[in-house]
Structure 1
């Protein structure tokens, strides 16, 4: 890896004619990237995939680098891979789906998988309201929905046999998203038991209803989640959007590719999805212990 980096530096000096200061800056960025790969058990650039590059960006973030500095690092590495692919020294460019970080964009608030469990377990499923609230949170976390998408769901939008929901997203763009078995089970209990009791012989096309068969509002659902978070003992602020953020983060941590998560979230631009690539330190340690060749100690 370092020999290829030296060849690239020669290329920048001789063929591109960059200044000494620029060469120094490129060299420092390359060194940071290669050292990160080496520290994570990657000694061949051909083994560095998109996940490795994203992990490096997370590392830079945790080192306190601003979005502007991370963008500069990424530009340096992008030029490096452009050179490598042009010279046919690598066959795959792991940066092809990674855009330059936007400045001023903060990492979203997420909760851990254990905290999600605590939140969901706070529902009293012996009551219709508890059944409704659990189904709402399970579907929101299971499919990564926006709160407006969630409260706008109609009964006809849910196919429990297939485990899918039809969502009308921003710009009236429709997408189909899987919800998983836990969300399916919670939705079935709500539809079969809680919802008929809550309707009290009234009718509504909406999946989730409040008083007098009216659809749930964003404000009401925010208050519901806030109460459950307090009951669960979750110290950090939790909002409906926290479940969407957590869905995306946990999917990526679990190995899902960015394009799939982008589709499920309904993002038109993959750069919006890349903000979820911050991976917890515990997760990185877990991955190291699981995959590093000298992990047995």
Structure 2
């Protein structure tokens, strides 16, 4: 005779409970939205969303939907690999840079990885390799005297000139990236301690950087030129009638730099990142190549990246070529 082990009264109801009903499970998960929600940085979310939309638009001619994403994620591994390789080939044929190709592939791979994580996809795209990238092949920029010409293009008697002058000072004095500047809020600036709170590239936590007194004065002058704003208001915003008051985007900052450089008569193609290159190179020149110190300014995680700046600055290849020419 078999004796049943008695079940405690407190667990009796668990035998008949419906599993999963309390967790909001869905039969049609929105994988793309789940992926975007998993990204901390607003700029990263925007880039991933844009790249994935472009992928589906190019490959299917359709606007991306959750059902279309699932259709892709439900493909056989060989089919999915073929689709993505075809897309990669099209990016290369269109002449996109290696870094851009890799970024778009990374977005698709992340979508597939999220699909696997939540159980709607059973393949991966690990076999699809990115393009080899030569980092910062051209790190040349402009010297400090040329940058002064750009600063002179700012009419500091006007709010627009004050804003542009403060922007340029930040890009040069702290070698900031344009998205780091775009994300700044009024509350991130502390004139008393001469510091600025920024969200660096690839970071999930803010860091505090020191500002030069001239930059502090420039930002304070810009803030004093308009009515007091809340701490969560953008530090830099548009002044044109069409989008006045809206946060300056990275592209908006680029357009300001291009306009001012053109006014200064600079022929070399310029951008916020080119100013960053220029500032880092100028710092290396001023410190006689002290890469450890300049790393604090550039905030490069990998010192090897900064060494490329130093190698380009030194023009060692040109020196060796001249030496060989003189030998014959």
TM-score (ref. length: structure 2): 0.49
Residue 142 in structure 1 maps to residue 173 in structure 2: yes
Q: 1:186 to 1:271 in 2, by over 3 A?
A: same
State the distance in 1 between where 2:271 and 2:301 align: 23
In the alignment, which of 161, 174, 185 is matched to residue 130 of structure 1? 161
More helix as a share of residues: 1
State the distance in 2 between where 1:146 and 1:123 align: 20
8 Å CA contact retained: 1:204, 1:214? no
Residue 232 in structure 1 maps to residue 280 in structure 2: no
Q: How far apart are 1:163 and its partner, in Å?
A: 2.1
Q: What is the alpha-carbon root mean square deviation over aligned residues?
A: 2.3
Aligned to 2:213: 181
State the distance in 1 between where 2:135 and 2:272 align: 23
State the distance in 2 between where 1:121 and 1:105 align: 29
Q: 1:215 to 1:269 in 2, by over 3 A?
A: same
Aligned to 1:207: 235
Q: 1:121 to 1:271 in 2, by over 3 A?
A: same
Q: Which moved more, 1:236-245 or 1:152-161?
A: 152-161
In the alignment, which of 295, 302, 307 is matched to residue 262 of structure 1? 295
Matches within 5 A, 1:56-205: 105-172=136-203, 173-193=205-225, 195-196=226-227, 205=233
TM-score (ref. length: structure 1): 0.54
Residues 231-260 of structure 1 show CA distances to partners (whole Å, capped at 9, x for unaligned) of 111121111111111111111110062123
State the distance in 1 between where 2:290 and 2:300 align: 14
- Aligned residues, how many? 176
Q: How far apart are 1:188 and its partner, in Å?
A: 1.0
Q: 1:185 to 1:276 in 2, by over 3 A?
A: same
8 Å CA contact retained: 2:194, 2:212? yes
Q: 1:104 to 1:219 in 2, by over 3 A?
A: closer
8 Å CA contact retained: 2:155, 2:161? yes
Q: How far apart are 1:264 and its partner, in Å?
A: 2.4
Q: 1:275 to 1:215 in 2, by over 3 A?
A: same
Residues 85-144 of structure 1 show CA distances to partners (whole Å, capped at 9, x for unaligned) of xxxxxxxxxxxxxxxxx9575132311111110001110111111111111111111111
Residue 273 in structure 1 maps to residue 306 in structure 2: yes
Structure 1 residues without counterparts, runs of 5 or longer? 1-101, 282-297
Q: 1:280 to 1:116 in 2, by over 3 A?
A: farther
8 Å CA contact retained: 2:295, 2:303? yes
> SS state of the match for residue 196, structure 1?
coil
> SS state of the match for residue 313, structure 2?
coil
> SS state of the match for residue 279, structure 1?
helix
Residue 245 in structure 1 maps to residue 277 in structure 2: yes
8 Å CA contact retained: 1:155, 1:206? yes
Runs of 4+ aligned residues of structure 1 deviating over 4 Å after TM superposition are: 102-105
8 Å CA contact retained: 2:300, 2:306? yes
Higher Cα Rg, which structure: 2
State the distance in 2 between where 1:186 and 1:280 align: 33
